[in-house]
Structure 1
């Protein structure tokens, strides 16, 4: 038998997030802002699924997404990441509407 925790709904939620190309774009934007980088130094499309998974595990302080279903602090961080991503996504949609003249 193994002592590895089994993943559940939170692990699946994180896996779906890390497969989302829009989340990868969000991570690119966040990384540029956090590190005061210009677009040419860290262009969109830098993060992919593997990089998103690493970033999520690092931010949540876990080694496996399965831990999200067994670690309240890690799950709270996932909730914060999802919330921040959704806020960014709403802002992107608003920016697109304004740029397209549909404010």
Structure 2
């Protein structure tokens, strides 16, 4: 099977993993979901990548541009992240 080439979604996901605010979102999301005390700044770029791959059920971000189910899940991740960002900005919180 030939290696899939990543497109817009794969590049977007790679940039998202570099985003400190997205990684902060993952810190706070995990802390709330599992009732844990997780310090801000815990999630790394690799952790963010692993989160996206696992949540979308894929092995590579390139699959986001070729797998419709993974693309839908990625859009849901983005939707929840943007909602969180909006709520944080209204409270004046959330920026690293």
The TM-score with structure 2 as length reference comes to 0.93
Aligned to 2:48: 52
Which residue of 68, 72, 77 corresponds with 1:76? Answer: 72
Structure 2: stretches of 5+ with no match in the other structure: none
Cα offset, 1:48, TM superposition: 1.5
User: SS of the residue aligned with 2:89?
Assistant: helix
Moved over 2 A (4+): none
Higher Rg of the two aligned structures: 1
User: 1:4 deviation in Å?
Assistant: 1.1
Question: What CA distance in whole angstroms lies between the structure 1 residues aligned with 2:16 and 2:78?
Answer: 8
- Report the alpha carbon displacement of residue 30 of structure 1 after superposing the two structures with TM: 0.5
- 5+ residue gaps, structure 1, are 98-103
How many equivalent residue pairs?
Answer: 93
**Residue 9 of structure 1: aligned partner:** 8
Normalised by the size of structure 1, how large is the TM-score? 0.86
Question: Match for residue 24 of structure 1?
Answer: 23
